[in-house]
Each structure stands twice: as structure tokens, then as C-alpha cells.
Amino acid sequence: MSVLARSVGNAFRNKVRSGAVVVILAVAIGLALSMLVANQAVADRITSLKASVGNNLTVNPAGSRGGQGGGEPLTTADVSTAQSVAHVGSVNGALTLRLSSSGTAAASATAQGGGQSGGPGGRAADGTTSLVSAVDPGTLGNRASGSTASNSSATATSGASGGTGAGNTAARAGFSIPIEATGINGSVNAAGAAINIISGAALSDFAGTSAQALVGSTLAAKNSLTVGSTFTVNDRTMTVAGIFDAGTAFDNNAIYLPLVAAQTLTGQTGEISTMSVVVDSIDNVDATKTALASALDSTRVDVTAGSANLDSAIGSLGSVQNISLIGFIAALGTAGLIVLLIMIMVVRERRREIGALKAIGASNRSIGVQFVIEALVLVVMGSVAGAVIASFSSNSIVGALVSSNTSTTTAAGSGRRAALGAAGQAAGQAVGGGTRFQGSGRGAFAGASQLIGTVSTSVGWQTLVLGVVGILVIAALGALIPALLTAKIRPIEVLRGE
């Protein structure tokens, strides 16, 4: 009988105990492997999140975002300044406009006694278009519009014109959602993401006289436009070069125009409303953000890093990664401790047998090898069972870790956001404004959660290598110390008690 066969036989000399040890080891190793898989999955997710949005910076005029707020517009000179900042890879400037439908503008002008129709939030339209909005105002649109009307009337009370006196929920006759037009300088949108063109081609003529336009899919359907169809923006006839799909009903109710043409058409020559800056490396994002704010004058611009939700998402995932790493080490240590204690018990129990083996000529090495193999048999069986447990449980463990961690952050964040919202609302009311912040907190953190999405597990070579190394550490811990203990047992033990 070989040492291997003898060791395997010895490992199951006490079947009940060995079975119990294998089950306990399987649970510990299974937990360790699950934590390792979770750690790797979360690390991959963090990498992909950072890779997708992590090295983008957005520059807006201070006090303004997405056409809301005030401040001074950015200029093409700012684009040049931004491009000269260290670590800046590329800068993409865009001009966001609001176009009201020609028919609606006329109706509103009559109702309000002049001027172009304002959109929600009170912002005046930058121009008119022959396009009809694909989004129905509904309750939300009319509520925002009505609020504006109320403000207008309050402002106009001291003037000659009497206001419409509409309340917050009153609808103005003939109101329609403005169409957002974005002036761009390439094939990416204002956020620096590629435009998904489903029909036709991207813009190719970026001259001030260009008549090319890209139209959102729902807007094109609403206005029966196809590639080659025409529509007007102010007094210029534009031709549909392509139709894009941005994924949402709101974003598809929009058009893209060549930047210079958009500036020319609306009399905003040289102005841009936002810049998307791509930094050469994720590691340089913070430094570049500071440098950009300094170069462009931090009092006139706001520089934000990528997605507002990214820090929150990466923070949550980072916590999960730490927890899973600690869990992996703790579970592995527990497994090692189980093997160690069991083998110490086995060695103590078989002192006399070890003494007998030494008395009949066994060397310390051959006895040590026998006990190492015995421990390895237990570890291998525990690992196989543990791997099966991990394959079934790792997905749910990752899900539970991610969701519990995200919900904790969300709860804390919601509290802070609710307070901010209440403060904002109070401030807004104090100046007579009606802009509502309610729900903004919930939205922001739900965004982080959406950004994280579903973290799915898979076993890659790194996980396998780390798992095998971890299990070898267990085996080494569990077997070598008892094997060394056997060397200390003297052969005279065989005579003890006789």
C-alpha cells in the first residue's frame, strides 16, 4: 500500500468526523470562493464603469446647466483654452437651443401679448421650427408651463399687460413642448457620446451655411420625415441627413445641427453652452478638473466629473469590493484554522501510532508526508464541495452585497437630498420662483443604482489562480504545522501507558 493510499484511507478512518470536517470546510471554502468571485466581479464592474464615463469632464457656464439657470455663455475661445490644459485629450463644444413650433409660437404670442413662447422653467425659445413636437405636454408639461405663466403675470402686474392669471396646474392654450436642438461639431453629442444613427448618415458639412440636420426617431415619425426630407429652422430650410435613436422619448424629440450653423441661425455667434472634455487617463481626472476650472476661471464655469452618479456608484462598489476581500480572507483563514485544529487533534490522538511507525523505521519525512496528504485529501474534498456551493451562491451573494450597500448609501443620500430639496424649495419660494426640487435626491441615487446595474459573476483565470493559491495556503497552514508536530513526537511514545 502506497503512502497516498494509506493517507486517503487514514483520512476516512473516522468517517463521521471526516464527513463533518469536509462539510464545514466546504461551507468555509464555498464562502471564500463566493467572496473571491464577488470581489473579481465588482472589480471588473468598477473598471468598466470608470472606462465608460470615468475620464469625461463636463464644463458648463457657472450657474447654468442644460439650458437652465443664468450666467455668461462659454465661447469657442474657451474650447481652445481647455484644449491647451495638460492631460486633456479632446474637447467637444456644443450649443443647446430650444426651438418652438411655428404655429404654437404664434398662438402664444397672441395670448401673452408678444414675444416668443417660453418653455418649462421660463426660458425663452431661441428660435422657431416647422417641426411639431413628438412629446405631448400632458400634466407635467402644462404644470411647468402654467407655473411660468403665473410668474410672468406676477412680473407683468406692474406693466401694462394683464397676465393670464393661470394657476400652477392651468394649461395654456396651444402650448407644446419645445424641441431641443444641439449644435455639434462632429459625430458625438453634447456629453461626448456617439450618436446612434439608425438611418442615413452623420453630419458632414459643418459650415455656417450648412443645411444638414439629424432628427430624433420619434420627432421624424411625428413629422413624417425621412432621410432627404426638409423642414425649417427660423428662415433656413434644413435637410434631414440622418435619423438617430437616443433611447428615450425625450431625447428623441430633438435635432442636431452643425455648431456654426446653429450659432448663425440663432444669432449666438461664437457661443457654446457646454463642453465635454475627455481626459487622457482616469488617474488624471481630478488634477485636470482643477486645472480646467483654474484656466477657464472658476467663477464663470462649473467643471463636473463625468456622471454625477459615478462617484456614488464607485463608492458603493468599492465598499462591496472591500467587504468581499475581507470576507474572502476571513473565510479562507477560517478554513485554514479548521484544517489546522482538526489535524492537530488527529496528530495528538495518534501520537502512539506515530511512535509505533517511528519504532519500526519510519522517518520523520515519510510520516510528515502522510499527514500532509491526509490534510490535502480533506482540503480537496472540501474545495470541490465548496466550489459547487460557490457556483450556486456567488450570484446571490454578490447581489445581496451590492443591493445592501447601495440601499444604505441611498438611504443616507436621500436624507441629505431631501434636506437640500426642502431648503431649495424654501429659497425658491422666497424669491417667488416655483421650481421644485422634490424627488431630485431620489432620482440622483437611483441613478447611481442604475449605473451599477446588475453585477454578474463569472469565473476567470485570475479568480481560478487566486482560488487555487488560497486553497494551497489553507493546505499549507492546515498540514505543515501538524506535520512538523509529528516530527517532534519521539518513538518512545509507543511505550507510554504500557
Partner 1 sequence: MLEVKDVVKAFKSGDHTIKPVNGVTFSVGQGTFAAILGKSGSGKSTLLSLLGALDKATSGDVLVDEVNISKLPDAKLTAYRRDDIGFVFQQYNLIPNLSAKENVMLPMEFAGVSRAERSVRAAELLNQVELTEDMHDRKANRLSGGQQQRVSIARALANRPKLILADEPTGNLDDETGELIIELLRSLSHEKNTTILVVTHDQALTGKTDRKFRLARGKITEITAS
| Site residues for partner 1 per CB under 8 A | 1, 6, 9-10, 13, 352-353, 355-364, 366, 490-492, 494-495, 497-498
* 360/430 with CB nearer partner 1: 360
Q: Which is nearer to partner 1, 416 or 496 (CB)?
A: 496
CB of 17 to partner 1, least distance (A): 14
Between 7 and 116, CB nearer to partner 1: 7
Calpha distance 347→341 (Å, rounded): 10
Distances (CA, A) of 167 to 150, 205, 292, 438: 6, 46, 43, 19
Neighbours of 296 (CB within 10 A): 23
Q: Which is nearer to partner 1, 87 or 352 (CB)?
A: 352
Nearest to 126 by CA among 174, 180, 175: 180
Please tell me whether residue 174 adopts helix, strand or coil conformation.
coil
Residue 159 or 497 with smaller CB distance to partner 1: 497
Least Å from the CB of residue 10 to partner 1: 7
Residue 323 or 362: the one with the smaller Cβ distance to partner 1 is: 362
Name the minimum Å distance from CB 363 to partner 1: 5
Q: Which of 107, 233, 97 lies closest to 172 in space, CA to CA?
A: 107
| Nearest distance, CB of residue 351 and partner 1, angstroms | 12
Taking the C-alpha atoms of residue 96 and residue 58, their distance in angstroms, rounded to an integer, is 14
> Shortest Cβ distance from residue 361 to partner 1 (Å)?
2
Which residue's C-alpha cell is 463625468? 306
Q: Please, what is the minimum distance in Å from the beta carbon of residue 344 to partner 1?
A: 20
DSSP 306: S
Among positive and negative, which fits the CA dihedral 451, 457, 460, 463? positive
**Total residues belonging to the chain:** 498
Backbone CA torsion sign across 91, 95, 96, 101 = negative
* Residue among 280 and 353 whose Cβ is closer to partner 1: 353
Q: Compute the least distance from the CB of residue 482 to partner 1, in Å.
A: 18
